[in-house]
Structure 1
């Protein structure tokens, strides 16, 4: 079954449903990023401070304490499950777009790798592997870029009207 470019043949109602879903999903995704920016200063040391605390830093503006094991397991568990569903659903739509197969495979698989690296990395950081904060930062950035590119491609191809299908 050929699915490359199938999105162009979807009926208007299905295209509107997919567009609404992708837009609302993106609002939630990017709101989460705003939260990350607010809580960890979106830098490696801020990430470390968010999970390991800063009670030894007398100059800290906001006092933070090390997360408990229960908090960390809840965070890792919830994010891995929810983000894998987000990327699976986005991937199902992305599969139907007209795109170079290597780029498509990358955009389909990369977010899952980044989810494991980002949230597994946060757990390892919490366990004391401080260098992992750089892996967390890089994988989080790559996950965000991959998601953004996938959403852009999906939305662009949803509005694209293929002349050979207009008659159907």
Structure 2
């Protein structure tokens, strides 16, 4: 079966379903990014402070405490499960777009690597591997860029006529 470009040939009702799904999913994804920006200052030191606390910083504007075992396991568990489902569904949609094979493969596989690096990295940062904050930052940015690119491609192609 030829998958490349199949999305353009789908019936109008399926295209509307895909478009609505991508829009609502994107709202949820970008809301999550706003939350990250509010809680960790969206920089490596802010990420470290959010998970490891800042009790030793006398000049801290907001006092933060190190996350507990339960908090970290819940965060890692919930994000890895939910993000893997999100990127599986987006990957299925990217698979049926008309796109260069290598770019398509990258957009389908990369988010899973970034999910492991981002949330596994947060756990390792929490255990004391402080340099992981840079891996978390990089993989989080890459995951976001991949999401934006994939969803834009899907939306553009879903709007194309047969």
Deviations 1:83-127 (A, max 9, x none): 000000011111000000000000000000000000000000000
The residue aligned with 1:65 is 65
The residue aligned with 2:128 is 128
Backbone CA RMSD of aligned residues: 0.4
TM-score normalised to structure 2 length = 0.99
Are residue 116 (structure 1) and residue 131 (structure 2) matched? no
How many residues align? The count is 162
SS at match of 1:42: coil
Q: CA deviation at 1:161?
A: 1.2
Q: CA deviation at 1:43?
A: 0.1
Q: Quick one: distance in 2 between partners of 1:124 and 1:21?
A: 33
The residue aligned with 2:55 is 55
Deviating beyond 4 angstroms after TM superposition, the runs of 4 or more aligned structure 1 residues are none
SS at match of 2:73: helix
Are residue 4 (structure 1) and residue 4 (structure 2) matched? yes
The residue aligned with 1:84 is 84
Structure number with bigger Rg = 1
TM-score normalised to structure 1 length = 0.96
Are residue 13 (structure 1) and residue 10 (structure 2) matched? no
Unaligned runs of 5+ in 1: 163-168
